[in-house]
Amino acid sequence: MASAAGRQDTGERLADLFDAYHPRLFRLGRRLAGSSEEARDLVQETFLRAAGRPGSIPRNPPGDEAWLVRVLVNLVRDRRRRAQVRDRGRAVLLRERSGQASHEEAALAKRTVQKALARLPARRRAVVVLHELEGEPPARVAALLGISRVTVRWHLAVARKELAAILTEEVER
């Protein structure tokens, strides 16, 4: 009886968390992953993890959001590791195909940014997306990712150099 009540409580809490954070997590997933389908899978996987470990989600509002963001960022990192192993041999082929895509300026800009972001390590990409695209201040990025402000600033500084090189390379291509 107690466990049924506990399950109901967990269900309600998960529903509240889902309603509150799914748009924000989708946006983040979309910026970190390669496609909207992948972002949708990431949102679902994040909440399924939450359903599996409801006790580990902090009760306070900034804490629960940070927990979900960290799960999503870790999922992106795991997927990227697996994809790197799987796609190592197909990298050249994909590069050739992407060159034949639409010449529409907006789509090209989007693809360029996506490719540039994809070349950053997962944690650094998350820092850049949260700060540069979502406009979160470094202190908030640090809280969301569970790292120090110094680390956030270091990631941003390194990412700027890396992005400058990558984007210059992409624009000149």
Partner 1 sequence: MKRKQALDTGTIREILRRGDPAIDPGGAEEALTPEEVAGIRRRVLQAAEEIEPFPFRMRLAAAGLLAGMVLIAGLVLRIGGPAVHEGDPAQTRIERAATERGRSTNAGAPTPRPARTIHFVTAGGTRVIWSLDPAFDV
Chain contacts with partner 1 (rule: CB under 8 A) = 2-3, 6-7, 10-11, 14-15, 18-19, 22-23, 26-27, 30-31, 36, 39-40, 43-44, 47-48, 50-52, 54-55, 104, 106-107, 109-114, 116-117, 128, 132-133, 160-161, 163-165, 167-168
Burial group, residue 129, by CB count within 10 angstroms (0-12, 13-18, 19+): buried
Nearer CB in complex with partner 1: 33/143: 33
| d(C-alpha 118, C-alpha 98), whole Å | 14
**Tokens 């809490």 belong to residue:** 13
Closest separation between CB of residue 89 and partner 1, Å?
Answer: 25
> Between vectors from CA 90 to CA 85 and to CA 91, what angle results, nearest 5°?
90
Nearer CB in complex with partner 1: 3/89: 3
Closest separation between CB of residue 99 and partner 1, Å?
Answer: 17
Residue 49 is encoded by which pair of tokens? 């993890």
Nearer CB in complex with partner 1: 89/135: 135
Length of the chain: 173
